[in-house]
Structure 1
Amino acid sequence: MFDSSFSAPPLWHNGPAPGAIYNFPATGSKPNDYYTHSQSPVTTATSVVAIAYKNGIVMAGDLLASYGSLARFRNCPRILKINDNIILGASGDYADFQYIRDFVQQKIIDEECLDDGL
């Protein structure tokens, strides 16, 4: 005989609705009290300075690169001597500098292979 006055509690009593944020008891958090972290942080670098003087320029940059907000990489040079008259310094996204560096270095190789004296 089955007694209809006795029923088991639901499996997930007072749980979250599908697709909703659940407020766990005694945590004191509200649904909007969460932080959004980047899903694709980039490696960035800063602090390149150049000073011009009578006989040329001096350019310097630190070697630290940050991954998101973490100071992660300690040996990331961002200054490139292209030739005796051109120097390249970059800050911002380190991948952009790497792309430009590789592109310029390939152009230098191509020019040297031409062997036309320029």
Structure 2
Amino acid sequence: MDVVSGAYTVTTSSGSRYLIDLDRSELSRMPRVAENVDPGFWEADDLRRDGETLQLLSIDELTVGRPAVFWLGDVADYPGYAGTRRTTTDVVDISQVAKLDVAELELALSGAASHGGED
């Protein structure tokens, strides 16, 4: 991904969806919100801090057809750690989101997180 601004949803083959806001350097993840498009793959697992807005330090890889690799910060609950690496299943879609839609997506992500991510 060769852009440096804007907001995007990223959907992976396991059915997880990420909201990435490059202007605010933030990322949120919600598992099992999209159809699992890889029948040979298991269902997305819950990860620590799903549905929370996390500090996005960098994106090492974000290309349709390949796993995304993100570096996340704000891991204050682990003293001494500067960040953590998150690698996804293959990315199946990257869509730009209008700024007006970002607040709605964040609300939807936080609501789904409080219900355990279940549909």
Indicate whether the TM-score tops 0.5: no
> Which structure has the higher relative contact order (CA within 8 Å, separation 6+)?
2
Larger radius of gyration: 1
More helix by share: 1
TM-score (norm. length: structure 1):
0.26
More strand by share: 2
